[in-house]
Structure 1
């Protein structure tokens, strides 16, 4: 019986998983004003987030990031599944980046401003997700 994940997936899953897990754990006790700030940015991309209280939004984002980070680190969770989760998560972050005023450089739709660089770097997570998913879809299954 082979490994549940391919050895070549371990570095990408470790890097993304540790980063996201740490981020989620760091948001567990967000003060209300911190949660409200994140919620406001999120609502630029997903207006329905305005319907949550800042405390509920803070719990949602902390739980989501913690669960995704843990799933990426857990070798028994299939790579195709964590790749889909990471792809959805990073796409949502990039949508927020593109829709939040001040995060892109003046006169540019995509190039980050100094304030936007921290979020624009999430394009790497989308690249990791795409690589993992493409490898899963194009690899031959062994009996």
Structure 2
């Protein structure tokens, strides 16, 4: 089994959080989907080419996929960590590329950026899963 007792708290809490987030985005209204798309386009400009409703659907599926990978015991920790790393890396990229989210130093979160900056914990968990020791 790829899911060790040492990884369980990391995978269960993060997986449940992200799965719930994706589940709640299944039926976004067009305005919310467009807002999320505008924010995501700051990190990955190509997403601006999608229709907002499609973007919302893809975001929902991506989050549910990452959450499910983290919660599924037979998914190797490194693979789940890579999925989480890609997702959380995109979130942090958006944070750093949106000037309103940081103070003038470009690192510390502004009032608007605190909601995204706190997601740095997912980067740490992804790294722990990727770099963790091989199970016996």
* TM-score normalised by the chain length of structure 2: 0.96
Quote the residue 1:36 is aligned against: 34
Task: Determine the C-alpha separation between the residues in 2 that align with 1:13 and 1:100.
Answer: 29
Cα distance, 1:87 vs structure 2? 0.7
Runs of 4+ in 1 over 6 A off after TM superposition: none
Quote the residue 1:61 is aligned against: 59
Q: Find the partner of 2:125 among 105, 123, 128.
A: 128
* Secondary structure of the corresponding residue to residue 92 of structure 1: helix
Task: Determine the C-alpha separation between the residues in 2 that align with 1:132 and 1:79.
Answer: 5
Cα distance, 1:121 vs structure 2? 1.1
Task: Determine the C-alpha separation between the residues in 1 that align with 2:46 and 2:129.
Answer: 30
Count of matched residue pairs: 136
Question: Are 2:33 and 2:55, in contact at CA under 8 Å, matched by a contact in 1?
Answer: yes
Cα distance, 1:38 vs structure 2? 0.3
* Secondary structure of the corresponding residue to residue 101 of structure 2: coil
TM-align CA RMSD: 1.1
Residue 105 of structure 2 is aligned to residue 108 of structure 1: yes
Cα distance, 1:134 vs structure 2? 1.1
Task: Determine the C-alpha separation between the residues in 1 that align with 2:37 and 2:118.
Answer: 20
Cα distance, 1:101 vs structure 2? 2.9
- Which runs of no fewer than 5 residues in structure 1 stay unpaired? none
